[in-house]
């Protein structure tokens, strides 16, 4: 049975290995161990029998505005619904905390479209989104695609950048 749970310190090496596997494939950006440690509270894991099946992070950026990031599923388990379930868990947590708009920057646009995210121009996202970009190996030539998703409670005047 798959269990979805918060990440702990003992999970960092597994998360790091999984995320950077995909980074080496050019399918996501790399994450340094220190970035995972610093943002450990953001991560939720899909685990079965103490085996990491997948991970994802919910990073709060601004009032009622959060990023879904570092989403990865073990390669042999792709297309099994684990990624979608991780997104649903992250969104649920965000909604419980008051998030009304989610965004992601991705190289996997098809997946996020299937999760009801809508492609948007990156320059429509606020500058607060870009605070970590200067540390990215792709900076300033970002080729990720931006997607957003709003909740039923979203009101455009709610989120003030």
Convert the pLDDT of each residue in 42-83 to its tens digit: 999 999 999 999 999 999 998 899 999 999 999 999 999 999
Whole-number pLDDT of residue 160: 57
| Confidence band of 127 (pLDDT split at 50, 70, 90) | low
User: What is the Cα–Cα distance from 52 to 47, expressed in whole angstroms?
Assistant: 5
Provide the 8-state DSSP code for 78. Answer: T
Closest of 144, 55, 158, 40 to residue 101, by C-alpha:
158
What's the average model confidence in pLDDT over 114-120?
Answer: 96
Q: Is the pLDDT of residue 4 over 60?
A: yes
User: What is the Cα–Cα distance from 29 to 33, expressed in whole angstroms?
Assistant: 13
Give the domain 3-150 fold.
Aminopeptidase (3.40.630)
CB 57 within 8 A of CB 42: yes
Whole-number pLDDT of residue 134: 65
Higher pLDDT, 123 or 7: 7
| Confidence band of 124 (pLDDT split at 50, 70, 90) | confident
């Amino acid at each position: 049975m798959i269990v979805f749970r918060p990440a702990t310190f003992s999970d960092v090496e597994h998360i790091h290995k999984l995320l950077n596997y995909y980074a080496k494939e050019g399918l996501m950006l790399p994450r340094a161990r220190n970035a995972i440690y610093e943002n450990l509270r953001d991560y939720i894991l899909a685990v079965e029998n103490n085996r990491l099946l997948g991970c994802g992070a919910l990073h709060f950026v601004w009032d009622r505005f959060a990023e879904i990031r570092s989403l990865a599923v073990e390669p042999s388990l792709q297309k099994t619904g684990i990624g979608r379930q991780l997104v649903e868990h992250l969104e649920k947590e965000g909604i419980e905390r008051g998030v009304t708009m989610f965004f992601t920057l991705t190289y996997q646009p098809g997946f996020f479209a299937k999760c009801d995210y809508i492609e948007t121009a990156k320059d429509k996202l606020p500058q607060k989104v870009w605070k970590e970009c200067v540390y990215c190996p792709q900076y300033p030539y970002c080729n990720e695609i931006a997607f957003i998703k709003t909740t039923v409670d979203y009101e455009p005047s709610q989120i003030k950048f």
